[in-house]
Amino acid sequence: MLNMPNQPLYIDNQDILEFNATVTSISQNIVTFSETYFYPRSGGQSSDQGILTLPTGETLGIVEVFYSDDGSEILHKVSEPIMVNFVGHKVSLSIDEELRSNHEKMHTTLHLVTSFIKAPVTGCRIFGNECKIDFNLPELTITKEDINRYIEECVSFDLNVSSRNMSASEYRNSKLYNSVIGCPAESNLRIITIDSIDSQPCCGTHVNSTRNIGKIECFKIKSHGKKNRRFSFRLL
């Protein structure tokens, strides 16, 4: 049975980087498929990119992936319009492994940062080999050296990163419901846990061990207003 186009299959299958699917719609350079393992842009994390191979053998770059306005479909933007109607045809797709890996490393790092800085998160962005996270932090007493030391320790400890589903009722009765702002409680949630140091709802991509983050550094801390502090990171 085919999966619905809006089903985010990457959640349980992050290791699948090549797959076949059926084209379900084409509108100029926007394509949908019967199934997809691409991560769609959301929650501050940029989407996966990759390659679409058409039945003719022609290849097009998949430059961005995102949800439709009503959230019912995952849309794939390709590098140029497709002029032939390939709806109903099988195609091959591949995900950029290096970009996916970079996003996994940085997203997991941001979980570590939120476990270290005990303040409300006001925004974040993950793109390429850099990421940024903002906190409502009126007094800045944390230095880049403090953060880098903490991340290095977490990486060296080889902490396990796991995921599980939590029902809406379980979530409402958990500490997460009181501590995490802006997470819906009306549906089942995916909980990402890093050993005993962090646990929070998240639908991003992550490494399965902090050791796999490798080398990353906080290279800038900048004030944006009286209370907002932005911490910027990059892979080394």
The per-residue pLDDT for 180 is: 47
- At 87-102, the pLDDT tens digits run 999 999 999 999 999 9
Cα angle value 150/154/156 (rounded, 5°): 115
Whether the predicted pLDDT of 48 surpasses 50: yes
pTM of the model: 0.91
Beta-strand runs (E) in the chain: 18-27, 30-33, 50-53, 59-67, 74-78, 90-95, 121-127, 130-136, 161-166, 189-194, 198-201, 216-224, 228-235
Average pLDDT taken over every residue of the chain: 91
Length of the chain: 236
Domains of the chain, start order? 9-95 (2.40.30.130), 100-235 (3.30.980.10)
Confidence band for 201, pLDDT divided at 50, 70 and 90: confident
Confidence band for 183, pLDDT divided at 50, 70 and 90: low
The percent of residues in the chain predicted with pLDDT above 70, rounded, is 92
Q: What amino acid occupies position 37?
A: Y
The per-residue pLDDT for 181 is: 46
User: Among residues 219, 205, 217, which one has the least CA distance to residue 10?
Assistant: 205
